[in-house]
Amino acid sequence: MSSRLLRADDPAAIEAGARTLRDGGLVAFPTETVYGLGANAFDARAVARVFEVKARPSFDPLIVHLSEGSDLGRVVAGDDARVERLGARFWPGPLTLVLPRRPDLPDIVTAGLDTVGVRVPAHPAARALIRAAGTPVAAPSANPFGYVSPTTAEHVVELLGQAVDLILDGGPCGVGLESTIVSLAAPEPTLLRPGGVSREELEDALGASLVRAAAPAERPLAPGQLERHYATRTPLRILPGPAAPLPAGAGRVGLLAWSAAPRGRGYAAVEILAPDGRPTTAAAGLFAALRRLDAAGLDTIVAEPCPERGLGLAIMDRLRRSSARG
Ligand code: TXA
Ligand code: MG
């Protein structure tokens, strides 16, 4: 199976992608968060191929993507006033809600759970693709399980290349971090994964605080919570504070710096995440920076910490998971 790479702003490419999905194929497509690897959510065989291509464990459910919030009833059972409130404010956008599922959604999508994660992505190509396919699209991030999510079409080609039927190239993702996942199926609204919508904004919209999911269990609620995930192959360590110049003989160390490189030398490679000091800039460039450092033949990567407010919560979450040795 050889993959084709087409421009996501070409209507003919969207039509080709939609046809591929309807025919049971896999299409990698841009979203505002990261690239997704999509299959028709109601085609269990196509969804099985997604798991196979990603080498993803079958206990890890997929997010179902809709082109409109009004399509929610195709995969979700029941009504919930909080969904209307959150959907009105954050959809289309980087928020996934975990809700009671409809029984006719194939079990493989939800890993047998009685809930489904749903989101309406904001990227125009993603919405156009889903709309043209005429079916909800189940899509994890388009990377092998456990590795850093792709934020450009080139990343997808490198990571999954030949295994995908069609790749839509929409350029770099604007947000750069995965969606925030909130469960409304638990007794209290629960933050399963910090992401592109900040906890503060969500709590403001809900008028309630979010419970943070407990430490990952054997069979986690959101396996994105698996401790080692979003990982670089090079060991990564988070520094306690701003980076200092390196002592001699420290080996080949790469630095993931926040807004400026430290004075003095010694780092074999330096990536500055947010020269403008803005968390949105840091988030958009995080995975690409990790990927470059990972390819630089380093012994270690060290990362400066950032305040855990707004997008900083999701950035530190990804860095911690990347630093967990598993
Ligand atoms: O931004 C995103 O969310 C991207 C783009 C492509 O939409 N998708 C993404 O998918 O990050 P994935 O599969 O890499 O991560 C989805 C996470 C997993 O940790 C999964 O366990 C969790 O969502 N999840 C999905 N359905 C769930 C459910 N019913 N209950 C709890 N967690 C769920
Ligand atoms: Mg993923």
pLDDT digits (tens, 9 = 90+) for 84-104: 999 999 999 999 999 999 999
Residue 215: pLDDT band with limits 50, 70, 90: low
CB 75 less than 6 A from any atom of ligand 1: no
Measure the N-to-C terminal CA separation of the chain; round to a whole number of Å. Answer: 33
| Ligand 1 atom closest to the CA of 149, numbered from 1 | 14
User: Distance (Å, rounded) from C-alpha 218 to C-alpha 226?
Assistant: 9
Residue 126 · residue 30 · CB < 8 Å: yes
Residue owning the nearest CA to atom 7 of ligand 1: 36
Residue 21 · residue 40 · CB < 8 Å: yes
Residue 218: pLDDT band with limits 50, 70, 90: very low
CB 152 less than 6 A from any atom of ligand 1: no
The residue whose two tokens read 């839509």 is 168
Residues 6+ apart with CB under 8 A from 324: 227, 228, 231
Residue in 47, 63, 228 to alter for ligand 1 test, most ligand atoms within 8 A of Cβ: 63
Report pLDDT for 217: 46
Residue 261: pLDDT band with limits 50, 70, 90: confident
Scanning the chain, the segments in alpha helix (DSSP H) are 11-22, 44-54, 81-90, 107-110, 124-133, 153-160, 199-206, 279-294, 311-323
What are the pLDDT digits (tens) for 184-193?
998 899 999 9
Residue owning the nearest CA to atom 23 of ligand 1: 222
User: Distance (Å, rounded) from C-alpha 294 to C-alpha 231?
Assistant: 10
Pairing of strands 180-183, 95-100: parallel
| Ligand 1 atom closest to the CA of 225, numbered from 1 | 19
CB 151 less than 6 A from any atom of ligand 1: no
* Ligand 1 center from residue 78 Cα (angstroms): 21
CB 194 less than 6 A from any atom of ligand 1: no
Residue 315 or residue 57, greater confidence:
315
Q: From the CB of residue 203, how many other CB atoms can be counted at a distance below 10 Å? A: 14
Residue 295: pLDDT band with limits 50, 70, 90: very high
Residue 160 · residue 141 · CB < 8 Å: no
What are the pLDDT digits (tens) for 164-183?
999 999 999 999 999 999 99
Q: From the CB of residue 241, how many other CB atoms can be counted at a distance below 10 Å? A: 7
Pairing of strands 115-119, 95-100: antiparallel
CB 293 less than 6 A from any atom of ligand 1: no
- Identify any residues that bridge with 101 across adjacent strands, giving them in sequence order: 76
User: Distance (Å, rounded) from C-alpha 324 to C-alpha 326?
Assistant: 6
311-323 and 279-294 are packed helices; what angle lies between their axes, rounded to 10 degrees? 20
Indicate the domain borders of the chain: 5-212, 236-323
Which range (26-40, 213-227, 252-266) has the least confidence?
213-227
* Ligand 1 center from residue 265 Cα (angstroms): 40
**How many helices and strands, by DSSP H and E, does the chain display?**
9, 15
Ligand number, closest to the Cα atom of 119: 1
* Ligand 2 center from residue 224 Cα (angstroms): 7
The CATH code of the domain at 5-212 is 3.90.870.10
| Ligand 1 atom closest to the CA of 56, numbered from 1 | 13
Amino acid present at 41: A
Residue owning the nearest CA to atom 26 of ligand 1: 117
Residue in 37, 105, 164, 178 to alter for ligand 1 test, most ligand atoms within 8 A of Cβ: 178
User: For residues 185, 188, 194 and 200, what is the CA-based torsion angle, rounded to 10 degrees?
Assistant: 130
Query: What predicted TM-score, i.e. pTM, was given to this entire model?
Result: 0.93
What are the pLDDT digits (tens) for 114-131?
999 999 999 999 999 999
Helix (H) / strand (E) containing 95: strand 95-100
What are the pLDDT digits (tens) for 62-77?
999 999 999 999 999 9
| 144 burial via Cβ count (<10 Å: 0-12, 13-18, 19+) | middle
Residue owning the nearest CA to atom 21 of ligand 1: 222
Report pLDDT for 186: 82
* Ligand 2 center from residue 249 Cα (angstroms): 36
Instruction: Go through the chain and tell me how many residues it has.
Output: 326
The CATH code of the domain at 236-323 is 3.40.50.11030
